[in-house]
Chain A
Amino acid sequence: MPETPTLDTKEMLINVGPSHPAMHGIIRIVARLDGEVIRGAEVEIGYLHRGFEKMSETVSYNGVMPYTDRLNYVSPLINNVGYCLAVEKLIGLTAPERCQYIRVIMSEISRITDHLTCVGASAMELGAFTVFLYMIKAREYLWEMVEAVTGARLTVSYCRIGGVKGDLPAGFEAQCRKALTETRAVLKEVDKLLSRNRIFVDRMKETGRISGEEAIAWGITGPFLRGSGVAYDVRKANPYLVYDRLEFEIPVGRHGDNLDRYYVRMAEMEQSMRIVEQALAKIPGGPVLVEPESGKPVDLEKMTPPAKPESLPVMPAAVMVDKGKRGRIHEIRDRLAQVDPTLGGYDAATERQVAAGEKRVSLPPKEDTYGNIEGLMNHFKLVMFGHGVRPPQGEAYFPVEGANGELGFYVVSDGSENPYRVRVRPPCFTIMGALPKLLIGDMMADLVPTFGSVNMIGGELDR
């Protein structure tokens, strides 16, 4: 029997990253290749480690909020909400009902923007640049909504412990429904471009496969797990805010491959829009003040409004502050403070709707801050260095459904004004841990769609 000539083959190491064109995010994968098949992979992360957990220990409880924005910077509002809920659980406080609806609406808008970016970017990496442009166009519609509510496009810092920064602006519902209609149109276009696109489907199908049991063993949650057929969603399993009053479904895949994850994300966007529309219809309109002791809403009609001497002249609060600094007390005596329109959305009427009526946690309305000594003292006690929100000693873990999966905040308090420990359970951390498992056995070119469907967000992964 003649000897079969064998070619001398060697395994090759190929280094992908830290900055690689086909990967959005900074990560390094060292792949061991046999021909074009990946036989082994080592993932190196930490390139965007910027010490979120250490920084949180140096600022006040509300001061952590801007840092949470920059965890998952594609859906910052969900991080805000998750952190606030964890601290509120530690304190034992519930936000007013209207505020809970606002948080749900903003979380879901954020989830849509996250999925839009994820699907758009991973499609771009497979060559479908048009889809990316369409998706970003749709994201702009939603970001305009976010900007109208929060004042910022991306790093919003909208939530406060016990409430949110300000109420929804006038005419929000109509604008939001319009933005959703436009987003739906874009999604329809994208669906036409991608879902039956031969190239796209061939590259996504049966790559990066993982079964439901394996995914659970790796601690994977979110759309990635649902793509493998496990219907786990924190919004259903442990309902928080008002999710138990809203109707939505959990889309699940069957095969656990990249294509199913794409379908799950597309279906989830539709469900999120359903949630937003229901929440917009159900959101209580009037001011809702909650008694912190009992958690029951207070009927404002029956409350006696604080007496306001209408005869006194009005003066802008900023002018009042300036005069006060120069010592011209006689000029501001017997004047009523008028809040600057740039502080809009935070006068007494809206404050009752969106923040818990608890002096030791929520800032007073700006009229009070500028207008009377009680409000000023209250403000002082919450914002000055060495003061602030002080939860009791203890610990609490609160999971919310982030765009990538279960986003949990574990907060430990030692009773001082700085958090003793803030831990984030980052959803894409566990998925990245399983990345070698997903890659091994696939071709080198399959790395790109698999990595795209992970939706790695550096800020959240490395914190």
Chain B
Amino acid sequence: MFGKSNFMTTKLDAAVGWARKFSLFQYPFVTACCGMEYMATACSHYDVDRFGAGFPRFSPRQADVLFVVGTISHKLAPALKKIYEQMTEPKWVVAFGVCTCTGGFYDNYATVMGIDTIIPVDLYIPGCPPRPEYVLDGLMKLQDKIQAQHEGRETPPLPGMQRSLHESGFSV
């Protein structure tokens, strides 16, 4: 990387973005079935550590990325919102599994129809539950997004990445 001359030049923003995207401290807010696939992704078989995100922090104050893993019910929604508000900037939110994206097939009195009605979401990983490969793919897309944000670019229009309801002017 450094070559013979032992130094490299870069923009500071790009360097910060590079550093941030490869040291994601995540807070897994694990509620339901998706947690099993989250475990599988985190463990040795799929090894999320290869992407610099292998270090779950169990306090929202120390975390960069909030992984919302599993169905959010109306009873739990205030807790989720509180956890999001406790996280320090910069922070990103990943909706892991279709229940967090849209509510999935639990269209009933108890379930929140997508967490983007409560908190802003940066990345949606649908699937019921998403396979570990899919999660890793989503994680790399999130890294691209983080890098782009620090270079002042617009988020690259990646396949599978949508604007959240908050970004599109939806008010709660």
Contacts and interface: CB of A to CB of B under 8 A. Distances in A.
Specify whether A and B are partners: yes
Interface size of A as a range: 35 or more
Contacts of B45: 136-137, 140
Given A74-B36, A136-B44, A46 B75 contact: yes
B105 A66 contact: yes
Given A18-B79, A51-B110, A154-B37, A73 B131 contact: no
Given A24-B30, A70-B33, A153-B37, 18 more contacts: A21-B58, A21-B59, A46-B73, A49-B73, A51-B111, A55-B108, A73-B33, A73-B36, A136-B40, A136-B45, A137-B43, A140-B45, A143-B40, A153-B40, A155-B33, A155-B129, A458-B70, A462-B73
Contacts of A137: 43-45
Interface residues of B, number: 32
A54 B33 contact: no
Contact of A154 (B79, B108, B110, B129): B129
* SS of B interface (majority): loop
A66 B105 CA distance: 10
Interface string A144-158: 000000000111000
A283 interface: no
Interface string B94-107: 00000100000110
A458 B31 contact: yes
Interface string B53-88: 000001100000000001101011001000100000
Interface string A47-62: 1111100110000000
Contacts of A154: 33, 36-37, 129
A148 to B, nearest CB: 15
B39 interface: yes
B29 interface: yes
A51 B29 contact: no
A121 B38 CA distance: 13
B7 interface: no
A18 B76 contact: yes
A20 B99 CA distance: 21
B108 A54 contact: yes
A26 interface: yes
B108 A48 contact: no
A155 B128 contact: yes
A132 B76 CA distance: 27
